[in-house]
Structure 1
């Protein structure tokens, strides 16, 4: 992937996150809801990517 495409992808991702936060906060969604949504999404991704392997050895 060329560097310009990679940097554009990062910029678009950050812009989309900013727009999402702005739209949610201006609509009255409490910031704790964003926190809980992000944490539960991270837990789901972690649990789905484990492939039944333990991390302790």
Structure 2
């Protein structure tokens, strides 16, 4: 992957993370709920990708 594409990918992820946090803060949802949702989503993704 060329360096400009890699840097744009990193920028895209950072901007989307900021927008997600801003949207949750603006809607009044507690940050703890966002953190819990992220942990659950990461756990589900881990279990779906697991190959034994």
Q: RMSD of the alignment, in Å?
A: 0.8
Higher relative contact order (CA 8 A, sep 6+): 2
The structure number with the bigger radius of gyration is 1
In the superposition, the TM-score normalised over structure 1's length comes to: 0.83
TM-score by length of 2: 0.89
Q: Paired residue for 1:10?
A: 10
Alpha-carbon distance between aligned partners in 2 of 1:50 and 1:12, rounded to the nearest angstrom: 27
Higher helix share: 2
